[in-house]
Amino acid sequence: MSSRLPAAVTALVAISVAYLFRIIIYSPISPNPLHLPWVPSSAFPSNDILQGVVKIGEGIVDRPEDLAVDKEGSLYTATRDGWIKKLHKNGSWEEWRMMGGSSMLGMATAVDGGLLVCDAEKGLLKVDEGGVTVVASEVEGSKIRFADDVIQGADGNIYLSDASTKFGFHEWILDLLEAEPHGRVLKHDPSTGTTSLLLSHLAFPNGVALSSEQHFLVICESWKFRCLKHWLKGPSQGKTETLIENLPGAPDNVNLAEDGTFWIALLGLRSTGLDILHSSKVAKRIVAAFPTLWQKLGERKTRAMVINVGEDGKVKQMLDDSRGKVVTFVTSAVEYEGYLYLGSLLANFIVITTGIHLPGMESECAPL
C-alpha cells in the first residue's frame, strides 16, 4: 500500500505535467481575448421568422455553405461530398460537377458564364462547360491558405477573401480561438492574370459582395463582428470604412439584394459558455488542446440570423430562429425573384423563406 501511493502520485504528476505541456507549451494557438460587441437584446429582437421556412434538397445537399443563382435562374451550391449541385428552375436537382474534397465554400457567377468557386484548400477555381481551371492559388509568392468567398465585377476584376494565412479550413476554430487578424482580401485581374493584395490584417475576412453600382466592396470581418466598405471608385477610392459593426453574430456570406441592399448571414457564435471562452486565454488554450470541448460548447444549435442592411449600414430587416429549432448556423442568404434562399454549414438542406415580405415584393412569398 505504502509503495503504491508514491507510484500513483508520481503517475498523477506525470499526467498533469503532460497535460500542461499540451495546453501551454505545445498549444497550436497564441490566443488573445476576443472582444465581443455588447448588443442590447432590444437591438435585434427575436421574431423566429426562420422557423417558418421550407426545406428543399433535404438529404441531397451536404452542408451547403454558399449559394449562387445564374442568369437562367438555376441555383448552385457546393457541398461537403465534393459535388457542385444544381437546382433547376423546374425544381429538379442535378449533380452538376464532381470537384472532390470537402472544402468548397463561397461561390459567384462569372461575368462570362460559369462559376467562380472558392476551394479553401485549392484556391480560386473557375468551373464551366470546358472543365475546371485554377484562377489563383497564391498571391505575391504566398499561398492562398483559406479561400473563402468571391465576387466578380462587370469590369472583370475578381475579389476574394483569404480568411486566414495561419490556419486552414479544418482549423477555423483555432483561428477563432486565437482571434488575430491573419486574413486578407485579394484582387485578381483576368486581363493580366495577376493576383494582388488589396487589404491585409483582417480578422477572418469572410463574405465579399459588390454594391449595386460597383463603387465599393463589402467585406464581412467575422471575428470583429462587423462588415467593412472598401471604396473601389469615386473620391474615397482606396479607403476602407465600417459599413456596420456591433453585430449580434459573426458575419459570414454577404450578397447583394435585388433592391441594392445586402443580405448578411450571421453565425450564432454567442452564448454564455462561448462568451466566457472568448474572454479567457487559458480557456482558449484548453479548448485548442482538447477539440472535443468545442463540440460541447460551439457546435450546438444556436441562433440562426440573417439581416438586410442598406448601403448606409442601417438594418432594414432581421430574420432569426432564436434557438436553431428549424435551421441553425446559417452561412448564406441569397435573394432571387423575391425568395430568400439560405445555406448552412450544419444542415443537409437549403431553406426558402416563405410568408415574409421581402424588399420589392408585391406580396408574400409562397413555397416552390
- Give Cβ neighbours of residue 65 (< 8 Å, ≥ 6 apart): 77, 78, 104, 105, 106, 252, 253, 331, 332, 343, 344, 345
Closer to Ca ion by Cβ: residue 77 or 317: 77
Sheet bearing 240-244, strands edge to edge:
205-210, 216-221, 226-231, 240-244
Q: Which three cell numbers stand for residue 172?
A: 477555423
Closer to Ca ion by Cβ: residue 171 or 252: 252
Count of all residues that appear for the chain in the document: 368
Distance, in Å, from the CA atom of 51 to the CA atom of 48, rounded to the nearest integer, reads 5
For Ca ion, which stretch binds (CB under 5 A), given 204-212, 263-271, 274-282, 285-293?
204-212
Residue 265, CB-side half-sphere exposure with 13 Å CA sphere: 30
Under 8 Å between Cβ of 139 and 193 = no
Shortest separation between residue 187's beta carbon and Ca ion, angstroms: 16
Q: Which three cell numbers stand for residue 291?
A: 477539440
Shortest separation between residue 120's beta carbon and Ca ion, angstroms: 9
Shortest separation between residue 154's beta carbon and Ca ion, angstroms: 17
157 is an interface residue for Ca ion by CB under 5 A: no
**Which residue minimizes CB distance to Ca ion?**
106
Amino acid at 39: V
Q: What share of the chain is helix, strand, coil (3-state, %, to 5)?
A: 15, 40, 45
**CA-based nearest residue to 230, from 183, 188, 198, 189:** 198
Site string for Ca ion, 224-253 (x = CB under 5 A): ----------------------------xx
148 is an interface residue for Ca ion by CB under 5 A: yes
**CA-based nearest residue to 69, from 352, 312, 295:** 352
Sheet bearing 67-69, strands edge to edge:
67-69, 75-78, 83-87, 93-98
Tell me the site size for Ca ion, rule CB under 5 A: 8
Site string for Ca ion, 273-312 (x = CB under 5 A): ----------------------------------------
Distance, in Å, from the CA atom of 222 to the CA atom of 176, rounded to the nearest integer, reads 9
For Ca ion, which stretch binds (CB under 5 A), given 73-81, 138-146, 199-207, 221-229?
199-207
Site string for Ca ion, 85-114 (x = CB under 5 A): --------------------xx--------
Q: Using DSSP, state whether 212 is helix, strand or coil.
A: coil
Closer to Ca ion by Cβ: residue 177 or 254: 254
Closer to Ca ion by Cβ: residue 87 or 289: 87
For Ca ion, which stretch binds (CB under 5 A), given 25-33, 47-55, 63-71, 226-234?
63-71
For Ca ion, which stretch binds (CB under 5 A), given 64-72, 185-193, 225-233, 293-301?
64-72
Residue 61, CB-side half-sphere exposure with 13 Å CA sphere: 32
Shortest separation between residue 7's beta carbon and Ca ion, angstroms: 52
Of the candidate residues 34, 63, 66, 319, the single one contacting Ca ion (CB under 5 A): 66
Shortest separation between residue 136's beta carbon and Ca ion, angstroms: 16
Of the candidate residues 77, 195, 206, 317, the single one contacting Ca ion (CB under 5 A): 206
Closer to Ca ion by Cβ: residue 199 or 283: 199
Q: Using DSSP, state whether 309 is helix, strand or coil.
A: strand
Interface residues with Ca ion (CB under 5 A) are 66, 105-106, 148-149, 206, 252-253
